[in-house]
């Protein structure tokens, strides 16, 4: 492919000052079509019975409707119209076969600018994992007898445009439409196309194949430097990822026009009754296979799986009189080629001549509508009737509120809406939509205005929102859109805001498709999370406040009125919309590198949830939703702190993380599940749904917490005493090793176990390919969790028999095909299974976040070349289809999949989240420049980079050789130059033991974390206070507790039934029924008569009920008996304890031994 030049910052900054072209391509004018057929009536029709040739294969072609089954498209029709060309046949021979057939006779001279493009839909047949239908391509035969497939033509992704090139590339998805284009002039200029063919060729057989082809076109597209022709925002396609469904995700995105991290999204709607997939690229097309616009909407959707909330809809109409508000009646068809879908500007020309546009601000937007005739109306509506609408025709104003929310929008408050219009309203009023089988009756929210659109036939709407009040919505509009602002003014300010953010990276050696991917991924990264605060002051003196949504509530706050929220309105900036289970893996490290100032504000904005509601959400949409496993904000925020991001509220970060990691939560919506038992047994037992997943994610979070506390202990002003931070850091670092308790050596995989140590499955019954495994694994199977120890790769390698053992396990993982035939405890096939299968890289379900780190685990095995080749293959073929609304191999999820691509393309990855290091991969571009917040530049160059040169032969950092496969974040954040020497074959660089990323565990034996030496069968407990069930304090369950009435001192003694073992830590867990100890002494004795003071504490606090705090002894001590003497408590007259642990070295399989 033709290499694009650098995206010059000077160029795009200059362009920010001028008006925006409709799109990067449109600015150069449409590509002249020299031949085109979508097989519709009136198009050129395929010839029949001519030019067929076959070797070991049969091929038949016929004009048909379209696919009989599809994940994301309408069935029975082509891609563009209602017809397509069906290809079908069979590879007969075992060694493969080939066939081709002529489709059109033509005579088209080829110039240097000539392009071929088409859409192809290969069918997945009979669970054939060889994917025979993908070994097909449109071919060209020239008048000189040569064929395009003989000339080495490449598609837009750099894959050979031949049947073998396409099949071997694995870039075609089955049961979906795929877009292919090639600048054939690069290899065939001067020739004349005589025939257009369809060809198949596979190196295997027997095999059946079938598929459909549509929209074959030969065009002349001007040769231009795509990088210099547009600013970063003009490369973005917001529709990328919308050609998706619940059956197969190619992103599952919404086409949001907004500001970076903005308060609102604004988007087109093809299903105005949906709170999930409200814009589907093709699946809801009408009988003519056209998408239909039903509305333009206010949105706050994080994911279709979470659902939308706080919506409001408007739809233009040219109906005479009172417009019909029913969705099907008001819907108007359009073509995607008539959309401009940029982050700062959405524009669509509808088939009836209406043009609708949106330009966003933070809390507001300007809409512009052009009407082609005499009638001009706007219909106002919502997804359902949860809302209110007031219309003032005299003032040309709209006001109201929206209470719409999905079932997972916990905490969402009422949003107020205010709008005004620039043209006189000549009629208007409320409307009623009667309910039917699909939608309920709507009488509160529908309405309309009819306008005198003037000679220019244009109406603009200025609209703003607020979570505080209707008056604040008016204030937000006044702050963000001035009375003299025109549509272009608002659009250009939004464009400049996006260009400033997206311009953080510029590259050389990029194709146009890669530029679209780069800047669209940056857009997704910076679209989320979102502000939830509002300026109640002025531009000059802003005062930031927010309506509290840090709640698990499912109802609108009590006291809410038509004009003001009943929720608490408090000072500070709050952020919402983040699924931390997904995003912690990549996005937060990306924010720390690319926008550290913004990263600090967003961390503090989520810590505001802790201040407001006591917890940071696991999945903020916007409040506390019971979804996914792990409190992964812990490691995300720890990562930012450890990487040196300035401005983070350390006290809140500490408290929020410790509460997640050390406190049994009051309900399932917050905190970690299984906390009543897991801190004491070292894992989450299988009585907790997805307990294994909770456990392994918990160890990663504990690792991040440990590193954050260690860094805080070195800070000039630590949030708590340095001694406490150091002790807790060591404790959580030890807890991060507890993954060993979930590894079953009999099966060689992680699996769930009961609290008493029994494994969920025997070796004979265990199958790692079964998804869920009776609710062990979240969205994957045993293979998917086989490497979820990124923080201690050497320890994991030790479990697999060393570095070579880890490499063999990884090789088996990438060689064992996913079949989507073992749904296990999911009860049926879910989209992640099919997506993982269609990744076609063994068990690596790259389509889902839990697998994203796995290729980088080869670095721990000393085989960086395997990381390099897998990552480069992924970059080459899994982020394809941007042209038709695809672009991702699975759910994008709030910037996470985008950030994976960004890091991988730069040549790095945050494998050990919560640490100071990133690991090194294989950069995609010959040169990438990161413009850092501090004004410096990080330049990453790989002069010999190319499609074949994917292996790293050497690295220099600021001119000095770099031999490790890990690099400190600090070196990247300070700026400088990193140069890669690339090679076409694997090299030895990075394979030495000294080159490996850091680990908690040394080579050799499996990790042996310290563990509780007390408990059933190991000794006995007693107290000097009568009536106390002292054994309850050593039962590994904080739901039981002992309440000690009366005055202190009070003592509890543990007598071991075994030989004394060294104790280095002990933990106390506060009760929930009374006060907590503040002063105590821990003593040791061998004879029960002479006691040695081991630790003395004064003025201690337990910040929450059922809070487990660790305390470190000055030196390990081994005694037969240990006595805790409590001398004072927080409440005079009584205190409660839930658990006591004595921690020391023990066999990691000790619990299994007790069975």
Model confidence pLDDT, tens digit, residues 1078-1087: 999 999 999 9
Q: How many whole angstroms separate alpha carbon 979 and alpha carbon 961?
A: 9
For position 1155, what pLDDT does the model report? 30
For position 30, what pLDDT does the model report? 54
Reference 1031, options 1018, 1017, 1045, 1020; nearest CA is: 1020
For position 28, what pLDDT does the model report? 40
**Residue 223: is the preceding peptide bond cis (ω within 30°)?**
no
Beta-strand ranges (E) seen in 540-597 are 544-547, 569-571, 575-576, 578-579
Retrieve residue 58's tokens: 């049969």
Reference 711, options 679, 126, 547, 719; nearest CA is: 719
Cβ-based neighbours of 680, under 8 Å, separated by 6 or more:
1012, 1036, 1037, 1038, 1139, 1141
β-bridge mates for residue 694, sequence order: none
Integer distance in angstroms from the first to the last C-alpha of the chain? 64
Q: How many whole angstroms separate alpha carbon 73 and alpha carbon 890?
A: 16
Q: How many whole angstroms separate alpha carbon 303 and alpha carbon 244?
A: 12
Q: How many whole angstroms separate alpha carbon 1044 and alpha carbon 1074?
A: 9
Q: How many whole angstroms separate alpha carbon 976 and alpha carbon 791?
A: 27
Using CA of residue 647, residue 650, residue 651, residue 653, what is the dihedral sign? positive
Query: Which segments in the chain show pLDDT lower than 50?
Result: 1-29, 226-227, 1148-1155
Retrieve residue 17's tokens: 């000052």
Retrieve residue 1062's tokens: 């060294």
- Number of helices (H), then strands (E), belonging to the chain: the values are 22, 53
Question: Residue 373 in contact with residue 512, Cβ under 8 Å?
Answer: no
For position 20, what pLDDT does the model report? 41
Q: How many whole angstroms separate alpha carbon 1106 and alpha carbon 1039?
A: 8
Residues 710, 713, 716: CA angle, nearest 5 degrees: 140
Q: How many whole angstroms separate alpha carbon 536 and alpha carbon 698?
A: 39
Q: Which phi and psi (to 5°) does residue 446 adopt?
A: -80, 150
Q: How many whole angstroms separate alpha carbon 293 and alpha carbon 291?
A: 7
Q: How many whole angstroms separate alpha carbon 127 and alpha carbon 133?
A: 12
Q: How many whole angstroms separate alpha carbon 47 and alpha carbon 59?
A: 14
Q: What is the dihedral of CA 1116, 1118, 1121, 1122, to 10 degrees?
A: 0
Q: How many CB atoms lie within 10 A of CB 414?
A: 28
Residues 696, 697, 701: CA angle, nearest 5 degrees: 120
CATH numbers and ranges of domains, the chain:
32-220 (2.60.120.260), 232-502 (2.70.98.10), 1011-1153 (2.60.120.260)
Cβ-based neighbours of 541, under 8 Å, separated by 6 or more:
none
Retrieve residue 953's tokens: 């032969």
Cβ-based neighbours of 696, under 8 Å, separated by 6 or more:
739, 742, 750, 785, 788, 789
């Amino acid at each position: 492919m033709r290499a694009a030049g650098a995206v010059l910052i000077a160029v795009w900054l200059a362009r920010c000052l001028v008006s925006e072209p409709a799109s990067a391509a449109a600015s150069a004018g449409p590509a002249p079509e020299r031949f085109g057929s979508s097989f519709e009536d009136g198009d050129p029709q395929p010839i029949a019975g001519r030019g067929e040739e076959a070797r070991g294969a049969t091929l038949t072609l016929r004009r048909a409707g379209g696919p009989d089954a599809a994940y994301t498209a309408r069935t029975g029709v082509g891609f563009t119209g209602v017809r397509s060309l069906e290809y079908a046949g069979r590879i007969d021979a075992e060694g493969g076969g080939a066939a081709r057939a002529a489709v059109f006779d033509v005579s088209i001279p080829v110039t240097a600018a000539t392009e071929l493009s088409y859409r192809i839909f290969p069918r997945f047949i009979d669970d054939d994992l060889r994917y025979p239908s993908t070994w097909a391509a449109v071919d060209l035969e020239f008048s000189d007898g040569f064929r395009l497939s003989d000339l080495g033509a490449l598609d837009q992704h750099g894959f050979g445009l031949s049947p073998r090139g396409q099949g071997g590339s694995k870039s075609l998805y089955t049961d979906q439409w795929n877009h292919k284009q090639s600048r054939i002039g690069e290899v065939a200029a001067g020739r004349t196309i005589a025939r257009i063919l369809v060809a198949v060729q596979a190196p295997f057989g027997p095999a059946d194949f079938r598929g459909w082809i549509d929209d074959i076109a030969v065009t002349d597209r001007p040769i231009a430097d795509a990088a210099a022709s547009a600013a970063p925002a003009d490369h973005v396609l917001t529709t990328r990822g919308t050609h998706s469904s619940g059956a197969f995700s190619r992103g599952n995105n919404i086409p949001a026009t907004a500001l970076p991290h903005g308060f609102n999204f604004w988007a087109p709607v093809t299903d105005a009754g949906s709170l999930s997939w409200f814009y589907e690229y093709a699946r809801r097309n009408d009988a003519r296979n056209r998408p239909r616009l039903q509305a333009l909407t206010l949105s706050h959707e994080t994911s279709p799986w979470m659902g939308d909330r706080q919506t409001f809809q408007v739809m233009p109409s040219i109906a005479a009189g009172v417009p019909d508000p029913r969705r099907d009646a008001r819907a108007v068809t359009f073509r995607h080629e008539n959309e401009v879908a940029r982050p700062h500007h959405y524009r669509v020309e509808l088939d009836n001549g209406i043009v609708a546009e949106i330009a966003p601000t933070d809390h507001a937007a300007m809409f512009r509508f052009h009407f082609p005739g005499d009638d001009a109306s706007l219909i106002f509506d919502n997804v359902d009737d949860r809302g209110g609408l007031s219309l003032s025709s005299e003032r040309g104003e709209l006001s109201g509120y929206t209470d719409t929310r999905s079932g997972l929008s916990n905490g969402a408050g009422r949003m107020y809406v205010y709008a005004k219009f620039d043209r006189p309203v000549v009629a208007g009023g409320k409307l009623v939509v009667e309910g039917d089988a699909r939608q309920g009756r709507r009488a509160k929210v529908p309405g309309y205005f009819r306008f005198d659109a003037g000679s220019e036939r244009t109406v603009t709407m200025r609209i703003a929102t607020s979570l505080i009040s209707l008056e604040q919505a008016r204030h937000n509009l006044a702050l963000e859109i001035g009375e003299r602002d025109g549509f272009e003014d608002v659009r250009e300010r939004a464009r400049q805001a996006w260009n400033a953010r997206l311009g953080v990276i510029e590259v050389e050696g990029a194709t146009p498709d890669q530029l679209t991917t780069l800047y669209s991924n940056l857009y997704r990264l910076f679209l989320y999370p979102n502000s939830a605060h509002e300026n109640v002051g002025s531009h000059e003196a802003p005062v930031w406040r927010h309506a509290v949504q840090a709640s698990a509530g499912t109802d609108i706050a009590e006291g809410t009125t038509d004009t003001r929220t009943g929720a608490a309105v408090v000072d500070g900036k709050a952020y919402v919309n983040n699924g931390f289970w997904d995003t912690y893996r990549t996005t937060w490290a990306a924010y720390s590198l690319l926008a550290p100032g913004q990263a600090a504000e967003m961390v503090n904005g989520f810590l505001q949830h802790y201040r407001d509601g006591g917890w940071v959400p696991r999945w903020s949409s916007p409040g506390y939703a019971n979804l996914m496993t792990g409190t992964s904000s812990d490691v995300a925020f720890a990562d930012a702190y450890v990487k040196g991001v300035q401005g983070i509220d350390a006290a809140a970060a500490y408290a929020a993380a410790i509460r997640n990691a050390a406190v049994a939560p009051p309900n399932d919506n917050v905190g970690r599940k299984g906390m009543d038992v897991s801190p004491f047994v070292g894992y989450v037992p299988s009585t907790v749904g997805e307990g294994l997943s909770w456990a392994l994610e918990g160890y990663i979070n504990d690792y991040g917490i440990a590193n954050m506390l260690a860094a805080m202990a070195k800070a000039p002003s630590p949030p708590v005493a340095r001694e406490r931070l150091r002790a807790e850091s060591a404790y959580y670092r030890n807890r991060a090793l507890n993954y060993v308790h979930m590894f079953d050596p009999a099966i060689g995989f992680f699996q769930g176990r009961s609290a008493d140590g029994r494994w969920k499955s025997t070796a004979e019954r265990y199958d790692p390919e079964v998804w869920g495994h009776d609710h062990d694994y979240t969205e994957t199977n045993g293979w998917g969790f086989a490497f979820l120890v990124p923080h201690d790769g050497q320890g994991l390698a030790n479990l697999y028999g060393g570095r070579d053992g880890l490499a063999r396990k990884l090789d088996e993982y990438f060689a064992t095909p996913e079949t989507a035939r073992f749904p296990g405890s999911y009860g049926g096939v879910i989209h992640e299974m099919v997506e993982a299968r269609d990744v076609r890289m063994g068990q690596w379900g790259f389509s889902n976040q839990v697998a994203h780190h796995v290729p980088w685990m080869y670095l721990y095995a000393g085989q960086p070349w395997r990381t390099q080749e897998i990552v480069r293959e992924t970059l080459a073929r899994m982020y394809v289809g941007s042209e038709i609304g695809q672009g991702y191999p699975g759910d994008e999820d709030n910037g996470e999949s985008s950030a994976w691509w960004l890091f991988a393309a730069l040549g790095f990855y945050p494998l050990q989240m919560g640490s100071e290091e990133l690991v090194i991969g294989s950069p995609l571009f010959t040169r990438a420049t990161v413009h850092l917040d501090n004004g410096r530049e990080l330049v990453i160059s790989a002069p010999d980079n190319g499609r074949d040169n994917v292996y790293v032969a050497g690295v220099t950092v600021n001119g000095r050789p770099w031999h490790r496969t890990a690099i400190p974040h600090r070196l990247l954040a300070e700026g400088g130059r990193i140069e890669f020497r690339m090679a076409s074959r694997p090299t030895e660089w990075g394979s030495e033991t000294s080159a490996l990323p850091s680990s908690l565990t040394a080579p050799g034996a499996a990790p042996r974390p310290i563990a509780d030496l007390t408990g059933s069968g190991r000794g006995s407990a007693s107290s000097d206070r009568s009536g106390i069930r002292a054994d309850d304090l050593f039962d590994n369950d904080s739901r039981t507790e002992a309440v000690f009435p009366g005055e202190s001192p009070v003592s509890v003694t543990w007598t071991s039934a075994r030989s004394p073992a060294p104790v280095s830590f002990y933990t106390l867990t506060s009760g929930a029924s009374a006060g907590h100890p503040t002063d105590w002494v821990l003593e040791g004795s061998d004879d029960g008569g002479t006691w040695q003071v081991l630790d003395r504490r004064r003025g201690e606090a337990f910040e929450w009920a059922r809070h487990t705090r660790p305390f470190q002894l000055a030196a390990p001590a081994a005694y037969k008996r240990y006595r805790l003497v409590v001398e004072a408590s927080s409440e005079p007259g009584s205190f409660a304890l839930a658990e006591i642990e004595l921690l020391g070295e023990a066999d990691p399989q000790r619990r299994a031994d007790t069975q």
